[in-house]
Copies of this chain bind each other. A is one copy, B any other.
C-alpha cells in the first residue's frame, strides 16, 4: 500500500510499504484491527520535524489523525466490527490500565503512538496512508453509529482525532465555565477549536489573538467576541485593558513556544488559569515568580483525545459544532508533499487528505 514517509527537513514522500495484516502471534492477543483509511490530516506538530526544528534520525511513517472503515478484526476484539466507521485518537491505548481508568488514556501503560511498535503488540501504522493496523482496537477506536457518514460530516469527525479534542482540553484545563472571560493564543486549527470549546462550555467573552484576516473571520464564526492582533507586551496590555485592567479569567495557550507561554501567564488575571496544549518546543520553562505572586495556575498538556471523543461526538452528529471548517484545503493522499508545503507556508490552516479518491 501507499503511505507517507518523512526522510528529513522538507522531504516527505509517498511510498510503497507492506500491507498491514492482522498479527496472529499469541503475543498480539487477537486484539488488533485493519482499517481502510478514509481521511487523514497534516498536524501542526508534523511541521516540527518537517521544518528541521525536531531532528529526523531516520525515515519514518507519519500521520496521527485519521478515520476509516474497519476491514478485519482480531479474534478477541469485541466492540469493533468490519464495516464500522471509526475515529482513531492520536494515540493507541488499551482502555484498561490504571492511567486509562484515571481518564488519562494518553498516558496508557500498554499503548503508544502511531507509526511505532506498541510494546509486544506489534507495529501500528501511521495514518497518512491507505490502511492502518490498530494493535489495540477495542481500547483505541471509537465507532460512529451508522457506517460511512454523510460526506458533510466527515471533516468535522476528523477533527475529533486531535485538534477539536485538543482545543477542548485547553478549555477544560483553563477551567472555562459559564460566564468565563477567555483569551486564546494561537490561530491555528487547535486555537480555533479552543474557541469552539470555550463557547461550548459557556464562556461569556472570547478574545482571539490573531493577525491573519481569514483566521480572524473563522475565529468570529466559531464564537470569538473580540480579536486582538497585537502580540507580546502590547498584546498583554490590550488584554488587561479589555478586562478591567486585570486580564481574562483564562488564557488558552495553543502554540507551545516560550514566548506564548510567557504571554499567557502574564496576561491572565490574578487567580486566573492558563490551559495549555501547545507542545513545548525548545525546552520551554515557566517563570515561577510571575505565577506565584499572581496565583496563576497552569494546567494541560497532551490532550486526552480518547477520553473526550465520546463527550464531543454527539455535538458533531447533531451539528451543534462544526470544527471541520478549519480545513481550508483538501488533497488526495498522492499530493501529501503539497499538503505539508501548504501548511508550512501557512497557505492553509489545515489540510485534509483523502486516502481513496
Contacts and interface: CB of A to CB of B under 8 A. Distances in A.
Contacts of A246: 98-99
Nearest to A303: B295
A208 B296 CA distance: 26
A291 B301 contact: yes
A302 B292 contact: yes
A299 B297 contact: yes
A288 B261 contact: yes
Interface in A239-297: 244, 246, 261, 269-271, 273, 276, 279-280, 283-289, 291-297
Nearest to A106: B295
Interface in A88-144: 98-99, 102-104, 106-107
A294 B285 CA distance: 15
A162 to B, nearest CB: 15
A292 B293 CA distance: 23
Query: Which of A104, A280, A301, A304 has the largest count of B CB atoms less than 10 A from its CB?
Result: A301
Nearest to A243: B98
B280 A99 contact: no
B283 A285 contact: no
Interface residues of A, number: 38
A30 interface: no
A295 B285 contact: no
Contact of A302 (B104, B295, B301): B295
A199 to B, nearest CB: 22
A204 to B, nearest CB: 15
Nearest to A271: B104
B107 A297 contact: no
A161 to B, nearest CB: 18
Which of A244, A298, A302 has the most chain B CB atoms inside 10 A of its CB? A298
A280 B292 contact: yes
A247 to B, nearest CB: 11
A123 to B, nearest CB: 22
B104 A270 contact: yes
A288 B297 contact: no
A186 interface: no
Given A102-B270, A286-B298, A294-B301, 8 more contacts: A99-B270, A104-B270, A107-B271, A107-B294, A261-B288, A283-B289, A292-B302, A299-B299
